[in-house]
Amino acid sequence: MGESLLRTVHLLRRESADQSHPIAFDLLESGSSRVIEMFDAPLVAPVADLSLAERDLPEVISAIYWAQEIHAHRLHPEMVLRGLPPLKPEELTRTPLVLHGPWTPLRQGGDPSHARLKRWPGVVKTDGLGSLDDVHPRAAQSIETFKPVYALDLERADALPRACGATPIDLEDGRWQVTVIVGAQLSTALRSALLEALRDVWLPRIVLLPIDERSMPRWKWAVVRRAAQVYITTAKIDCELLEAAAQQIPIIIVDEEAGAGVNPEIPRDEFVYLQDREPVDRVLACIRSWSKRWEAGEPAMVDARARKAFLDLHTRETHRSGYPQPWSDLSND
């Protein structure tokens, strides 16, 4: 049976009590899938956990037995075992548990003995983005590693590039508005420094509008980013970087882990890659270098073919029709 036809259950960590995970609907487009959201609520939060309500448990249990693979996304392996409903281990010995990291450290206060499954009965697969020390105690069989691949719907409306590209917005007074998104993945200190520095930048005929991604709910990130002219993020490959690559926005990569060496998976000839202890000045220099194009009402250069090659390595299609036509229409080379 081909990968696109796998019967798969996806376990996601819900962002908040009233907000679905941002990739939930992308995963539903991937093969024959079911999505179960799990919410690790603060002790004082008023939460009605409907996914594991008693009336829903028979359907959840049936879906897990029906699945050929169970995928857990950014969930600590211990939290996966604790959150599952009562299951028969012997029914899962041939069902792999696929762990997509990274995950946050285990919250203190829980008793591992309360997990209904002490270990996953089948094979455990992991993309290596989470600690293997967290995986070993929860695996009854072998542990396999695989290259991280993201299931993203690249034909989703907010993931498509704009027909005009990342052009600045023409204001009534003859100036151009340039929106710079400071990515949520950057450290708090660096985000604050970048936002402060960007607010002080003066460019002729350019109104620079810096936006902190952390100031918005996550479901808005892709929508707002799609209309931006610049996206600044980390050297870690994640859904946000891949969505920005698909949207064909000029991207500045700031590698805060400069001592760890260059991330070889980031194509340095495609993204502006900065590996400095204090990268703010170099970010501003890059912004200024693009100002002439913005003053002419043009976007900074993006190589659409290179973007597609990058996405091919790190994503799998969720639509059989493949990539949308704008890939070939918007190439700037």
Sign of CA dihedral 47, 77, 257, 241: negative
Residue ranges of the domains in the chain? 3-148, 158-329
Say yes or no: do domains 3-148 and 158-329 share a fold.
yes
Asked whether residue 187 carries a pLDDT value surpassing 80, the answer given is yes
Closest CA to 121 of 146, 87, 144: 87
User: If DSSP codes are grouped into helix, strand and coil, which group holds residue 210?
Assistant: strand
Which DSSP category does 124 fall into? Answer: E
* Predicted local distance difference test score (pLDDT) of residue 289: 94
Q: Is 280 exposed, middle or buried (0-12, 13-18, 19+ CB in 10 A)?
A: middle
User: If DSSP codes are grouped into helix, strand and coil, which group holds residue 92?
Assistant: coil
Pick the CATH number of 158-329 from 3.90.320, 3.10.350, 3.40.50, 1.20.1640: 3.40.50
Looking at domain 3-148, does it have CATH number 3.40.50? Answer: yes
Q: Give the H or E element holding residue 230.
A: strand 230-234
List of residues 6+ apart from 214 with CB closer than 8 A: 184, 191
Q: How many residues does the chain have?
A: 333
Task: Kindly report, residue by residue over 144-166, the tens digit of the pLDDT.
Answer: 988 777 777 788 888 899 989 99
**pTM confidence score:** 0.66
Residue at 231: amino acid letter:
Y
Asked whether residue 48 carries a pLDDT value surpassing 70, the answer given is no
* Predicted local distance difference test score (pLDDT) of residue 47: 45
